[in-house]
Copies of this chain bind each other. A is one copy, B any other.
Amino acid sequence: MNIYNCWLQERIVKNTAGLPLEKVYAEKGGLIAKQAVEEYRRGVKRLTGITPAVLPVKAGNNSKIAPGVFLGTYKGFEKIFQITTNSFADSSADNFTDSSAVSSAEGGFYIKNKDGNLLIAGYDDCGLLYGVFRFLMQLALDRDGPFPDIQEEPASPLRIINHWDSITGLVGRGYAGRSLFFENNRFDYNKERITDYARLLASVGINRISISNVNVNNAEKLFITKQYLGELAKIAAIFRPFGIKLILSVSFAAPMSVGKLPTADPFNPSVITWWKEQTDLVYSYIPDLAGFIVKADSEGEPGPFQYNRTQADGANVLARALVPHNGTVFWRCFVYNCQQDWRDHSQDRARAAYDHFMPLDGSFDDNVILQIKFGPYDFQVREPVAPLFGALKKTRHIMELQITQEYTGHQIDLCYLPWIWQDIIKFDTAYGPDSRIMDLVCGNKDTSKLEGFASVVNTGRDRNWTGHTLAQANLFGYGRIIWNPALNAEEIARQWSDLSFGPGPAADTVTDLLLRSYPAFEKYNAPFGICFMVTPGLHYGPNIEGYEFDRWGTYHRADAHAIGIDRTPSGTDYTDQYAPQNAAVFADPARCPENVILFFHRLRYDFIMKNGQTLLQNIYDTHFEGYDEVEAMLEKWKSLKSSLKEEVYKPVLARFERQLKNAREWRDQVNTYFWRKTGIPDKRGRMIYD
């Protein structure tokens, strides 16, 4: 494994399934189609050593020039290769497919291996590009037997990466070095590396990217001005051939900070005009910009509330400026009172997103998309899925995840995130029969459904991109699972390990480590969905009462007898924000899933859990187990010493050692905290410090 190459390793595969890889007939296409052919060429060279010859094709019946590899779009195939879309579905005809349907979604593709020919056809140019990457992935997996037919289309139209990079070079919640794009208050990047980055992202289907923080500070405010738009256009040009469009982080107060207007009131005519003109300027530089992302009225960022306008009023003023350019506003729903008084039990931060946005359902313009965090808090190790999903009926929206390990170990601790994402994706919102998150993910324009995902990314200037080499699996897994929410975490782990290490015992071990990592992390973290026992600000390591008397609204209120917030109808009634069936389950401690039971309930330490043990004993048990599991993971990693290159083995070893220290702090601080609080010892007599 070369740590820089991630899942696109250079490696000669054993099984090329007799495919005629060296002779390629490619439809003459646009920028993205050309990139697809280039990726085919590079990829086949990387995996077989063969440098394919790309041969010209002309209009007319070319089907007899086989055997060869045919790269194109459905329409191109009709025109050039005389293969109709219909014939894809016709199993009796002499054609390349026997499937009953072809993909008809943007980015969809078909790979067919028949009669010694290989056909990779995209619904559009992007589809071709994804088809090529999917083909290369399959080749790299190096499975035995004939090459399979593959038909795919992305479940999510929007597959977004958000960077929280600053022009200073600092990466917000970044644990993999400085920014890939900025340094020292200017654009500063290696073009080749950004191209490699675009390739990595496109290879797992990413199609949108924002490169700067949603907290729009200082110079970043000027990104929408001539001073920086030229630079941004250059970045857009690097991502463009890979089917990835730029999204720009803007400040709601830009009319004031940039435009020098006296207000940013969305109803003010000068503000409306200013946004229109400024947006026109932006699009004159980047005509295919996907739109703006806005963090408004959130953690100190300006927003419409200060003018007594709604979130919809705020979003719509931007949306209207974007309409002429087919641009979209991505409007984050992370709106909550971050100046809460811990004494006030009547407020409940968990309620905030729903309380703020549900009443506005239907008030947002067509080109506004709400970006909603998966849970009601903030990317905790375990939270319930936020109640807006399934509930919103008339507002376009996407789900925000976090690839960067802000609360899940800073890419020091191994924490394989598809494990939690699959749980989120399988969560049933209980609004109707097909109401799991994975069922709700669907194409554009059905405003009751989910148009995709955005995620804060885990990459930076570290040579291996992600700090922890195994954290590459999270970036890979994000692309994979939002492309196809039916994939499970195990399958993705297996794919990533095989692609990165090559199929074999090392990959098996790594797969096993990935799959054990999330449960272990969850065990040594805050117990049973209580959340926020983490070091304030930093968000690494335990601090049991760190948020307890602070302004962030995330309290556990542990006393001598009980812990947790009552969010049932007898408490803050947060449960009522869910569909009735879920509300009833969550509100009932006997039925509530135990991994979030302390999110919904205030329970006595002697509450009996499903395993017959008390809550307290379960806290002790999980924390001892979590530590032990990290210890076992460390030992397992050591078993790989002889099979891995030093640049892979040693830094990961060092991180496992740090993780073990971290797990020890979590175990001991949590256990000591509850032991001191209750005076009740561990039933099994293990060491709990005074």
B542 touches A669 (CB 8 A): no
A677 touches B679 (CB 8 A): no
A545–B674 alpha-carbon span in the complex (Å): 13
A345 touches B690 (CB 8 A): yes
Assess whether A668 is interfacial by the CB under 8 Å rule: yes
A559 touches B677 (CB 8 A): yes
Assess whether A91 is interfacial by the CB under 8 Å rule: no
Q: Which of B345, B557, B561 contacts A679 (CB 8 A)?
A: B561
A557–B675 alpha-carbon span in the complex (Å): 11
Within 8 Å CB of A561, what residues of B?
679
Measured CB to CB, the closest approach of chain B to A34, in angstroms, equals: 50
A560 touches B343 (CB 8 A): no
B676 touches A560 (CB 8 A): yes
A558 touches B665 (CB 8 A): no
Q: Which of B542, B543, B549, B559 contacts A542 (CB 8 A)?
A: B549
Stoichiometry, as copies per complex, reads: 2
Within 8 Å CB of A689, what residues of B?
342-343
Assess whether A403 is interfacial by the CB under 8 Å rule: no
Given contacts A545-B545, A665-B549, contact A679 B560 (CB under 8 A): yes
A559–B677 alpha-carbon span in the complex (Å): 6
Assess whether A544 is interfacial by the CB under 8 Å rule: yes
A545–B558 alpha-carbon span in the complex (Å): 13
Q: Which of B542, B668, B669, B677 contacts A560 (CB 8 A)?
A: B677
Chain B residue at smallest Cβ distance from A541:
B549
A681–B517 alpha-carbon span in the complex (Å): 44
Bitwise interface map of A from 37 to 51 toward B, beta carbon under 8 Å scored 1, else 0: 000000000000000
Measured CB to CB, the closest approach of chain B to A601, in angstroms, equals: 16
Assess whether A678 is interfacial by the CB under 8 Å rule: yes
B559 touches A676 (CB 8 A): yes
A677–B673 alpha-carbon span in the complex (Å): 11
A690 touches B549 (CB 8 A): no
B676 touches A558 (CB 8 A): yes
A557 touches B690 (CB 8 A): yes
Quick one: which of A657-686 are within 8 Å of B by CB? 665, 668-669, 672, 675-679
Quick one: which of A548-579 are within 8 Å of B by CB? 549, 557-561
Measured CB to CB, the closest approach of chain B to A500, in angstroms, equals: 37
Interface on chain A toward B: helix, strand, loop, or mixed SS?
A: loop
Bitwise interface map of A from 363 to 381 toward B, beta carbon under 8 Å scored 1, else 0: 0000000000000000000
A690–B346 alpha-carbon span in the complex (Å): 12
A669–B690 alpha-carbon span in the complex (Å): 23
A678 touches B549 (CB 8 A): no
Q: Which of B549, B668, B675 contacts A343 (CB 8 A)?
A: B668
Within 8 Å CB of A676, what residues of B?
557-560
Within 8 Å CB of A546, what residues of B?
546
A144–B587 alpha-carbon span in the complex (Å): 78
A557–B689 alpha-carbon span in the complex (Å): 11
Chain B residue at smallest Cβ distance from A664:
B343
A678 touches B545 (CB 8 A): no
A392–B345 alpha-carbon span in the complex (Å): 55
A690–B561 alpha-carbon span in the complex (Å): 12
Measured CB to CB, the closest approach of chain B to A551, in angstroms, equals: 10
Chain B residue at smallest Cβ distance from A550:
B543
A559–B671 alpha-carbon span in the complex (Å): 13
Within 8 Å CB of A679, what residues of B?
559-561
A345–B690 alpha-carbon span in the complex (Å): 9
A399–B345 alpha-carbon span in the complex (Å): 48
A345–B689 alpha-carbon span in the complex (Å): 10
A560 touches B560 (CB 8 A): yes
A665–B669 alpha-carbon span in the complex (Å): 25
Given contacts A345-B690, A690-B557, contact A549 B669 (CB under 8 A): yes
Within 8 Å CB of A557, what residues of B?
676, 690
A675–B677 alpha-carbon span in the complex (Å): 11
Within 8 Å CB of A544, what residues of B?
545, 549
Within 8 Å CB of A668, what residues of B?
343
Bitwise interface map of A from 507 to 549 toward B, beta carbon under 8 Å scored 1, else 0: 0000000000000000000000000000000000011111001
Chain B residue at smallest Cβ distance from A675:
B559
Measured CB to CB, the closest approach of chain B to A174, in angstroms, equals: 21
Quick one: which of A340-358 are within 8 Å of B by CB? 342-343, 345
Measured CB to CB, the closest approach of chain B to A317, in angstroms, equals: 36
A679–B562 alpha-carbon span in the complex (Å): 11
Give 20 CB contacts A-B under 8 Å: A342-B689, A343-B668, A343-B689, A345-B690, A542-B549, A543-B545, A545-B545, A546-B546, A549-B665, A549-B669, A549-B672, A557-B676, A559-B675, A559-B677, A560-B560, A560-B676, A560-B677, A560-B678, A560-B679, A677-B677
Not counting A549-B665, A558-B676, a sample of 12 additional A-B residue pairs whose C-beta atoms are within 8 angstroms of each other reads A345-B690, A544-B545, A544-B549, A546-B546, A557-B690, A559-B675, A559-B677, A559-B690, A560-B560, A560-B676, A560-B677, A560-B679
Q: Which 6 A-B pairs have the closest CB atoms?
A: A559-B676, A343-B689, A549-B669, A545-B545, A560-B679, A560-B560
